[in-house]
Amino acid sequence: MRHPLRGAAPVLVALALQVTACGPSNPMPPPNVAAAMRPAIASVSDQEFANELYKLLRDGTITEERQSHLAGVVRRQLAHAAKRFALGAEERGTESTLGGLYLLRVGEGRPDLMDAAAADALKGAMNKFGPRGDEGRSLVLLTLRAGALAANDPERAQVEQHLRALETWVAETRKGGPAQTLGADERAKVARATLEPTEEAIAEAAKAIGAWLAQGVKYNNAFNATGERPDREEIPETFRALRTAGPTAAALYLRYGDARGAAESIENIGAKRYTPPIFYDRLLRAADRDGAKDWQALASLLARALGPVDEDDEDAIVLDPELAEAGLWGATVEAYRRDPTHFPTAAMLATQLVRLGMSEAAPLVLSGALQGKPPAQAISASMEVLMLALDTDNEADDVEACRRTFVAAAPLLAAADAAAGKGAVDIGPERVRSYMASIEIRAGNLAGARPLLESAAKEAPRVALYTMLASIERQSDNRAAALAYVERALSAPDGKYALLDLVDAHMLAFELHRDGGDAAKAKVSLGAALATVMLVRKSATDMMMRLRAERLLAHVLAGFGDNAASARAMQRAIEIAGEDRNALSSTVLDAIGHAFVQKDLSVARAALRKGLESGIRDEDLVYGGLWVQFLEREQKATTDGSAEQALRRANGRGAWTGKLAAWANGKLSEADLTAAAQSAAQRIEAAFYTAIARRAAGDPAADTKLRDVAKSPVLELLEVQLAREMLAPRIRTELPRDLSLP
């Protein structure tokens, strides 16, 4: 798989149900500050970002110093968002842009806030919201971006023209009946007000909600009095208005931490009778008593709005998901400020920070809530959120963000170490350290990964950890140390049940002996791998274990030189993966890569067609398409069209896979592709594919470039593994005669 971990279970909703404590109050957001009174924007570095953000979250007291640092943190966050767009992580970039804007409360916006990096972030987010028809957010983002560009910048004129065109389009497309028109206006103005921190934007949105609800009430009253229904096209908007207007108005004000404004807005637009009583009651409590327990109870109710809606539950809150998240963010920040030691609230806030691209502050929020002797459940939940934070930014290839989060997690990991020493936690700190090590490995930082793995192995000696250490030593050309770690892996305590991890260790030993010219020991290790994986195949019932066993068996059989049996094992793995999209994606990619090394074009094409038919991840289809295309070129075979179809699935020219596809189709030069690489992994991929292209063209120097790729410190990258196997020596060995293979 291209990433070692995909997704971690959020603890947000579960923890929201545990809310029970009290704490101090906090002032309301400030009024608009005159330009002459605005403090200078503080310079906030990447190293300072986590602590500066943490201080802003803990204390909302309005001072000049806070306003200065708030602006600096927002700028830095938008720079992080711009980097993620540059990396091709468009979803993460958009989430991060929203996170930066959500830090601003009413009156805290300022025209000098947006710099060049912010302009890039706003442009990326606009490219996501625009095609969705989200006119409200699009208008805000365009306006902010225009202000971020110099007056004489030609791009500013283009943005302003786009802004005028969008405003015209909005006016011309307000069609349909009254409920439809008013509903569209409500959606746009509410969306705009969640990003524009001004009293005017919020008031306009509240007015739009009121007009929309009034029309829905009018239709409803007419139906109750006469039985006359509105036009069919008007019914969905009428129902939505009656069901959601009250919570929508409340969530809009809660986005800015204003419970009093939320309650008054519901009254002003006549939505009280259409608002779930429990929700309205909690709003009033938060507005009147303003204590930690009141805000916590309100936040927990909003958190439930993110889950499935029970249509029979009269107390259920129905909200647009993005608005629900915005309202939950504001309510959770208020609850946290009133009692930052309340762990369920801290965990909720930490999870939202991850969601909004501000993972760096999540460990500080969590560790600040772990006072005294925290329960094991809280430690385990903290590790779960920390794993989620690392995984989310790793998926975006933002290694620097992962590093910032890991550095900020030092106090949290220390608390986890103390608890883990007593054997009381389900998710131990060694899992976090080993995952961070895998991120460093993927970034090519073996020196940074080694101590993390050694620490994790000391805490919990496991086959997989020692095998990773052996792989690092192998890549560092230290064969003796690699074999020593393999021996430790084979004798690790968990080897009694982690049998597939043992197969990995045996296969690494096979490759080390094979590459070192020791055919006899290589055959012994290969035989041990075969015996172990066959044992697992006989007893495995879990789908993921069966899948992994078949994929490993395919690689073991390839080591014996039985490519036909190996291909059958891969086909069985594809069948086992079934409709599990992630499992199927990684399995199809493994099958194509395996066939690519074996130069089996028919098998590679069959696996790629399966991926196309099954709708696997576009990213994996692009890589698979590249491998099939290179096989066709090398073998001078007429294309069957599958490679071209797969390459068309690239996510636009901005994403890395889009760059690869453009290069494969002759639209980018080798130099352009190399220059476009933004990370260590992308640079190695560029080197691999350009070397393969040269090899297919008959360039004798291509293998030298492939050897450089094979020796790359980014050792978990599939391209590194493929290069290694393409160049590996072959040994002659036979399968056991009594072995029966399907």
Give pLDDT tens digits for 214-251. 999 999 999 999 988 889 889 999 999 999 999 999 99
Residue 147: partners with Cβ closer than 8 Å, 6 or more residues away: 111, 114
Of the two residues 679 and 40, the one the predictor is more confident about is 40
Q: Give residue 159's pLDDT.
A: 80
Highest average pLDDT, of 21-25, 364-368, 579-583, comes from 364-368
Among residues 347, 350, 258, the alpha carbon closest in space to that of 54 is found at: 350
Q: Is residue 414 over pLDDT 60?
A: yes
**pLDDT digit string (tens) for 94-117?**
999 999 999 999 999 888 899 989
Please give the structure tokens belonging to residue 85: 């767009």
Which of 657, 582, 649, 670 has its CA nearest to residue 89?
657
Task: Give CA–CA dist 100/252, Å, rounded.
Answer: 17
H/E element, 487? helix 479-490
Domain boundaries, the chain: 31-173
User: What is the pLDDT, as a whole number, of residue 651?
Assistant: 63
Query: Residues near 476 by Cβ (< 8 Å), separated by ≥ 6?
Result: 446
- CA 585 to chain centroid, in Å, comes to 17
pLDDT on residue 10: 40
Strand positions, DSSP E, 26-167: none
| pLDDT confidence of residue 162 | 80
- Poorest-pLDDT segment among 308-317, 412-421, 570-579, 708-717: 308-317
Tens of pLDDT, residues 259-281 = 999 999 999 999 999 999 999 99
At 424, the pLDDT band (50, 70, 90 cuts) reads low
CA distances from 545 to 422, 568, 573 (A): 30, 18, 11
pLDDT tens sequence across 643-677: 999 999 886 545 788 999 999 999 999 999 999 99
Rounded CA-CA distance 595/93 in Å is 35
Measured CA angle at 577 (ends 573, 581), to 5 deg: 135
Who contacts 88 (Cβ-Cβ below 8 Å, separation ≥6)? 397, 651, 654, 655, 656, 657, 658, 678
Tokens 């239709």 sit on residue: 219
Q: Which of 1-15, 54-68, 158-172, 682-696 has the lowest mean pLDDT?
A: 1-15
Contact 458, 469 (CB under 8 A): no
Q: How far apart are CA 55 and CA 69, in angstroms?
A: 10
What is the rounded average pLDDT for all residues in the chain? 89
Q: Which two tokens stand for residue 513?
A: 């002996």
- Alpha-helical (H) ranges within 59-115 are 64-86, 90-102
User: 14 pLDDT band (50/70/90 cuts)?
Assistant: very low
Predicted local confidence at residue 421, as pLDDT: 60
The domain defined by 31-173 carries CATH number 3.40.50: no
Q: Are 13 and 306 in contact (CB under 8 A)?
A: yes
Q: Which residues contact 480 (CB under 8 A, 6 or more apart)?
A: none
Q: What is the pLDDT of residue 341?
A: 95
**Mind listing the pLDDT tens digit for each residue in 377-410?**
899 999 999 999 999 999 998 999 999 999 999 9
Query: What distance in Å separates the CA atoms of residue 55 and residue 361, rounded to the nearest whole number?
Result: 9
First to last CA, the chain: 25
Confidence of residue 442 (pLDDT cuts 50, 70, 90): confident
Query: Apex CA 154: angle with CA 654 and CA 195, to 5°?
Result: 65
In this structure, the chain runs to a length of 742
Mean predicted confidence (pLDDT) in 558-587 = 94
What is the band of 87 on the pLDDT scale with cuts at 50, 70, 90? confident
| Mean pLDDT confidence for 155-159 | 82
Question: Given this model, what pLDDT does residue 9 score?
Answer: 37
